[in-house]
Amino acid sequence: MGAGRFAPSPSGPLHLGNLRTAILAWLFARSTQREFLLRIEDLDRVRSGAETTQIAELASLGIDFDGDMLRQSDRLPIYLEAVERLKARGLVYECYCSRKDIAEAGSAPHAAPGAYPGTCRNLSASERSAKAQNRPAALRLRSEVNEFSVHDELFGDYTGAVDDFVLVRNDGAPAYNLAVVVDDAFSSIDQVVRGDDLLSSAPRQAYLATLLGHPIPSYAHVQLALNAKGQRLAKRDGAVTLEEITEQGVHPANVVAVLLESLGLPSTSLQAALEAFDPANLPREPWIVEPENIVQQLMPRASGN
């Protein structure tokens, strides 16, 4: 069988929401006898030392991985080769729009809100040459569909917009939607488990996979951990990283227990949770984390260690 994966960006320590998703990805993979792989998505935000910290944090929770770790920054030529294959089929064009340009242009008729309006789709050679004097070009996919459907294990059938999304940014870096598709295919990843904030990206990525001749993976977009205001957890929320919590005397095993409880699973160990794991029983609502209370909730457990 194929593989599942956890793919953090090395922008800082992992917070409780990241760790909860990592546990879920591990449970999905192990319960289906798949390999479980680690990929470092370091094409964008990178903080010195964060990769080492994240790997250590995952190990301290008992999450194990198979095979070699993949690091996206080592694979730039491979992403660009995929773009060349699309170019050869006339499926790539240069775009000179800034974010401000796109926001002010609005959406094309019948396009989804926020979709790229196609401003640079049909520029003449002279128009491209003129625009290139002022701004480097990004490369966009010349999409042949407006929407695409995927199946998600938790959300069911999902149809989302597919616009002419960016493949290569104007600084020359491969874009997220391109890199993840190429990497998943390279690693035989056929199960993608990640936060539900990325559900809307799945149709774009699945469509791109078909264009590149890759199979579409199975998806499971899991509920996020949110703060009391209903926002994604962030550093500003306080003691929500493993590092911050363990510095106050809490053992990582106790953190695992709380994360498993939030999923309705046995909290004694990852192995016990694996034996009881059934995706159909996972919570369908976000986990609300109140950072000011999380350490207090964990301290009684810590005293038993």
Which residue numbers belong to the known binding site for L-glutamate?
5-9, 41, 176, 194
* Placement of tokens 């999905």 in the chain: 28
Q: For 129-217, where are the E strands, in sequence order? A: 138-141, 147-152, 156-161, 166-168, 191-195
Count CA within 13 A, CB hemisphere, residue 249: 10
Binding residue ranges: 5-9, 41, 95, 97, 116, 120, 176, 194, 235
What are the binding residues for Zn(2+)?
A: 95, 97, 116, 120
Which two structure tokens, joined as six digits, stand for 259?
A: 């994360």
91 in Cβ contact with 211 (< 8 Å): yes
User: Binding-site residues for ATP, please?
Assistant: 235
Kindly report the number of other CB atoms within 10 A of residue 131's CB atom. 18
- CA dist 150 and 162 (Å) reads 12
Question: b/e for 260-298, b at 16 or more Cβ within 10 A?
Answer: bebbebbbeebeebeeebeeeebeeebbebebeebbeeb
